[in-house]
Chains A and B, each alone.
Chain A
């Protein structure tokens, strides 16, 4: 056993949850550093409990460690208590498995899942003693490579990364690492490796070989490669056949309770639905299902290899998985008598769901979740959310008959074309659900006397590669006004006593919007915020809006430019050079239809010709489907 710990006993005894930093979890991979050529540190830039819950990291960890010449280890953001100590005592950031400094690794991979973790990326680099700016890194620094959904607009982070890997990690790491070996063997330096990566490995964006220019009005005027041979467009990588794709059959089992304290079974990638606000729905097209027989085997193996007491199905919209009933039946049979729980998030609430849930869960303790996202049918047509009031009321009524009495409703405020009328619809819908409860459940059967409805609203943040990428976002005052209207609308309802209302912070939603649709100039802003002490911005208690406002002002930039402006359709967007499969023409068509409140069909009903068929896989190639 290697007993080495990067942190002393004095430190480990004074910080919160030392278990975050000591490694040694079951199924974590330890190799002899003498026998591997490439040391890879895989980072999720947030606290251990969040990072450990991420399936993508487990997949890449498994994939990279299956290569005999590579040792992939994990690293997460040190919590502020340890962050302070590491700075004070000058302790370099280390990987969990070997406890060795990250600075000595060949690669530092960072998954970028949400915008508000950007300052944590700088924290990681800084604590690792890697220069923040890619341009200042020497031959002895690890290659810093980013992946994940935020890399579909990598521009605000362009200064800090050597490479962005656009798309799914399974496809190109083998080739990339082979090229790295080759360059090393030939004694080629960092720059040459990066150049050849940009030229030769599909899906790799190396920002230093591109240049952006802006007009007087601040709008991006040109963007492109500055060298011969560097591709002008970078196309997303994806796994065309999930059947033979690797799956982490021995995921790391943490000691401490993490957010996803269970086995996660990914049943499909992508989503057929194309809700117009949703980035994931576009980025991961086309939807690709995993084979149900293979999934059954995985389920058994994963439970056996981890000893977890719960298994959860994972996908963007599990109800659309074609063999769902078969898989759920299998799980119920397998788990029966094994004291294993099944959890089924992102499922549509209908008779099937309620039947399954009543068998696997304590009805009285669970609540129903609906995400209508908008309060009126008109606005739901605008956003192409195919959930109707009738479906919600039918689902809820069935559930009330089955004994459920708690409902959670999720909405967005500030959607394009939203009016006070739509907002009132939120209160009215909640009220009708409450009324359905009182009509359905006779007085003597009512637990606690009444139904509990919790309405939550998030503020809409337009994202790249969605039909709303051109839309204006509200300013914070407008967001708060709409939250106020929502609260008023709820308080005017007959059943208002049964309805509770929560809303999100407005400031942080605006800053998320700035970063989501930002350009390269924001790198300086992120760095300034970090230098002012900003880390863990995704955690409400650490987010400080004034730091961001000041940094923007110091850089001569404004939040409104990035968020509050409706972009003309012919504007060059910072992420236009990325080809995610979905075409700009399709997005424009969808944006126009949205303004006419016209819904579009989902991929199962009809192909809307989004462009992802070019990948030649998944739902697009299922024979006999209609196309437009």
Chain B
């Protein structure tokens, strides 16, 4: 039995495929690829599979993760590692826009993708023609000042609409970093199950702070990667989920992240 973490991308029209349907897609793709995936026992067994944080419909991502458990690994071939063979087999039966890019073998003791997510990085651009004029017209230094002023606040209240009504949350502790670069925001946000913060909310709060309205669907959001905390607890260093475990069990010694 091995735990495998597969990193994949989601882009293009596929951004409209919902999270549950992405799961269903990979369940079938894994069967098409002939990967020896493990199933739960019981009367309606399902594949042992766990996804890191779900991605909102309409968003693209360069760094999505799913963990699966396999009974056996494919044989290495043509000088490629087991993980590369597995990714290649899987990619062949996927569609463009929903593509596995790499895989790692995780130590048996590793927490699953969902449980280990601590942070997510995003690039937030503006859709063409929907750039907020005031902010974009500022000189570069002025924009940086505004961002510093925004992140320098002690609290960043934001009213979130939920099914149960409006609820105020504080965004500040969840913003690990916020920078403006190449006409886009780069955000590193809390993505843990308890403190998850959304890039759209951060952008909305920022323009609210500037007093500049943001048009509907003005943001084009790409998730870049997901991170876990290193082993020294809450304050540990962030490690990309894709760098945990090992790419080649033959040559590397498995180590705990």
- In angstroms, Cα B13 to Cα A307, docked, is 22
B12 contacts A by Cβ under 8 Å? yes
Contact with B along A1-31 (1 / 0, CB 8 A): 1010100011011000011001111100000
Q: How far is the CB of B230 from chain A (nearest CB, A)?
A: 36
With A257-B24, A308-B28, A309-B31 as known contacts, state yes or no: A25 contacts B95, CB within 8 Å: yes
Q: Which residue of A lies closest to B18 (CB)?
A: A19
Q: For residue A12, which residues in chain B have a CB less than 8 angstroms away from its CB?
A: 16, 58
- For B43, the chain A residues whose CB sits under 8 A away are 362
CB distance from B222 to the nearest CB of A (A): 14
How far, in whole Å, are A145 and B106 apart by their CA atoms in the complex? 56
Say whether B182 faces chain A, with CB atoms less than 8 Å apart.
Answer: no
Which residues of the partner chain B approach A9 to less than 8 Å between Cβ atoms? 58, 127, 217
Where chain A touches its partner, the secondary structure class is loop
> Which A residues between 332 and 381 are near B, CB-CB below 8 angstroms?
339, 362
B29-56 toward A: CB 8 Å interface, digit per residue (1/0)? 1111010000100011100000000000
Encode A233-277 as 1/0 by CB contact (under 8 A) with B: 000000000000000000001011100000000000000000000
CA distance A286 to B25 in the complex (A): 39
B32 touches A304 (CB 8 A): yes
Given A305-B32, A339-B45, answer yes or no on A255-B21 (Cβ-Cβ < 8 Å): yes
Contact across chains for A18 and B28 when beta carbons are under 8 A apart: no
CB of A1 within 8 A of CB of B96, answer yes
- Give min CB distance, B143 to chain A, whole Å: 25
B257 within 8 A of A: no
B27 adjacent to chain A (CB < 8 Å): yes
Q: Contact check, A22 vs B27: say whether CB atoms are below 8 A apart.
A: no
Asked if B57 is at the interface of the complex by the 8 Å CB criterion, the answer is yes
Give chain B residues whose Cβ lies under 8 Å from the Cβ of A362: 43-44
Given known pairs A24-B96, A339-B45, the reply for A18 and B16 (CB within 8 Å) is: yes
B43, chain A: closest CB distance, angstroms = 5
User: What residue of chain B has the Cβ atom nearest to residue A308's Cβ?
Assistant: B28
Q: Determine the distance from Cα of A9 to Cα of B127 in the docked complex, in whole angstroms.
A: 10
A583 contacts the other chain (CB 8 A)? no
Q: Is the CB of A18 within 8 A of B57?
A: yes
Chain A residues packing against B (C-beta within 8 Å): 1, 3, 5, 9-10, 12-13, 18-19, 22-26, 253, 255-257, 303-309, 339, 362
- CB contacts (< 8 Å) of B45 on chain A: these are 339
Given contacts A19-B18, A309-B27, contact A13 B57 (CB under 8 A): yes
Contacts of A10 in B (CB 8 A): 216-217
Which one of A1, A26, A257, A307 has the greatest number of beta carbons of chain B within 10 Å? A307
Complex interface: chain A residues within 8 A of B14 (CB): 22, 24
Complex CA gap A613/B71 in Å reads 55
Q: Are A306 and B95 in contact (CB under 8 A)?
A: no
- In contact, B95 and A3 (Cβ under 8 angstroms): no
Query: Would you list 27 pairs from A and B whose C-beta atoms are within 8 A, ordered by A residue?
Result: A1-B12, A1-B96, A3-B13, A13-B217, A18-B57, A19-B17, A19-B21, A22-B14, A22-B16, A24-B95, A24-B97, A25-B95, A26-B95, A253-B28, A255-B17, A256-B21, A257-B24, A304-B32, A306-B32, A307-B28, A307-B29, A307-B30, A307-B31, A307-B32, A309-B27, A309-B28, A309-B31
Tell me which of A22, A304, A306, A308 contacts B13 (CB under 8 A). A22
How far apart are A565's CB and chain B's nearest CB, in angstroms? Answer: 50
B204 interface hit (Cβ, 8 Å): no
Q: Tell me how far the C-beta of A340 lies from the nearest C-beta in chain B, rounded to whole angstroms.
A: 9
CA distance A255 to B10 in the complex (A): 14
Number of interchain pairs (Cβ within 8 Å): 70
Given known pairs A9-B127, A339-B39, A362-B43, the reply for A19 and B28 (CB within 8 Å) is no
A5 to B13, Cβ gap below 8 A?
Answer: yes
Residues of B within 8 A of A13 (CB): 57-58, 217
Q: In the complex the two chains form, what is the Cα distance from A308 to B57 in whole Å?
A: 24
Contacts of B217 in A (CB 8 A): 9-10, 13
A10 CA to B29 CA, complexed, in Å:
30
**Which 5 pairs of residues, A with B, have the shortest CB-CB distance?**
A307-B28, A307-B31, A307-B32, A1-B96, A18-B16
CB distance from B27 to the nearest CB of A (A): 7
A306 in contact with B28 given A3-B12, A22-B13 (CB within 8 Å) = yes
Q: Chain B contacts of A304 at CB under 8 A?
A: 32, 34
**A28 — nearest CB in chain B belongs to which residue?**
B95
Bound complex: CA of A255 vs CA of B44, how far in Å? Answer: 21
Assembled-state Cα–Cα distance A304/B29 (Å): 10
Which interface residue of B32, B57, B97 has the most chain A CB atoms within 10 A?
A: B32
B93 within 8 A of A: yes
Question: Nearest chain A CB to B139's CB is how many angstroms away?
Answer: 30
Instruction: Kindly list chain A residues whose C-beta atoms are within 8 Å of the C-beta of B34.
Output: 304
Contact residues in B for A309 (Cβ distance below 8 Å): 27-28, 31
User: Considering the chains assembled together, what is the distance between the CA atoms of A10 and B96 in angstroms?
Assistant: 23
Residues of chain A within 8 A of B95, CB atoms compared? 24-26
Residue of A at shortest CB range from B13? Answer: A22
Q: Which residue on A lies nearest to B25, using beta carbons? A: A255
Which residue of A has the minimal Cβ distance to B32?
A307
Complex formed: what's the CA distance from A222 to B27 in Å?
Answer: 59
Residues facing A in B57-105 (CB within 8 A) are: 57-58, 93-97
- Please, how many angstroms separate the alpha-carbon atoms of A12 and B58 in the complex? 8
List 13 additional A-B contacts (Cβ < 8 Å) besides A24-B95, A26-B28, A308-B28: A13-B217, A24-B12, A26-B25, A253-B28, A257-B24, A304-B32, A304-B34, A305-B32, A307-B30, A307-B93, A309-B28, A339-B45, A362-B44
Residues of B within 8 A of A339 (CB): 39, 45
Within the assembled complex, what's the spacing in Å between the Cα atoms of A306 and B43?
A: 23
In the bound assembly, the distance between CA atoms of A25 and B93 in angstroms comes to 11
Chain B residues with CB under 8 A of A24: 12-14, 95-97
The chain B residue with its CB closest to the CB of A23 is B13
Per-residue contact bits, chain B 149-179, to A (CB 8 Å; 1 contact, 0 not): 0000000000000000000000000000000
| Smallest CB separation, B128 vs chain A (Å) | 11
Q: How far is the CB of B54 from chain A (nearest CB, A)?
A: 15
Question: In the assembled complex, which residues on chain A have CB atoms less than 8 Å from the CB atom of B97?
Answer: 1, 24
Q: A3-B13, A19-B17, A24-B97 known; A255 and B32 CB under 8 Å?
A: no
Considering only CB atoms, which chain A residue lies closest to B17 in the complex?
A: A255
A13–B127 CA distance with the chains assembled, in angstroms: 14
Neighbouring B residues of A25 by C-beta, 8 Å: 95
Residues of B within 8 A of A19 (CB): 16-18, 21
CB-defined contacts of A23 to chain B, threshold 8 Å: 13
CA distance A10 to B43 in the complex (A): 43
Nearest Cβ on chain B to A342's Cβ, whole angstroms: 14
In the assembled complex, how far is the CB of residue A339 from the closest CB belonging to chain B, in whole angstroms? 5
Instruction: Give Cα distance in the complex from A306 to B31, angstroms.
Output: 8
Minimum CB–CB distance for A548 against chain B, Å: 36
A325 and B96 alpha carbons, distance in the complex (Å) = 41
The answer to whether A307 touches B21, judged by C-beta atoms less than 8 angstroms apart, is no
Nearest to A361 among chain B residues (CB) is B43
Q: Contacts of B28 on A, CB cut-off 8 Å? A: 26, 253, 306-309
Give the docked Cα–Cα distance between A136 and B146 (Å): 62
A26 touches B16 (CB 8 A): no
Q: Output the nearest chain B residue to A303 by Cβ-Cβ distance.
A: B31
Contacts of B58 in A (CB 8 A): 9, 12-13
- Of residues 170 through 225 on chain B, the ones whose CB sits less than 8 Å from some CB of chain A are 216-217
Q: Which residues of A contact B30 (CB under 8 A)?
A: 307
Bound together, the chains give a CA A1 to CA B98 distance in angstroms of 11
Minimum Cβ distance to chain B for residue A65 (Å): 17
| Min CB–CB distance A10 → chain B (angstroms) | 5
User: How close is A316's CB to chain B, nearest CB, in angstroms?
Assistant: 29
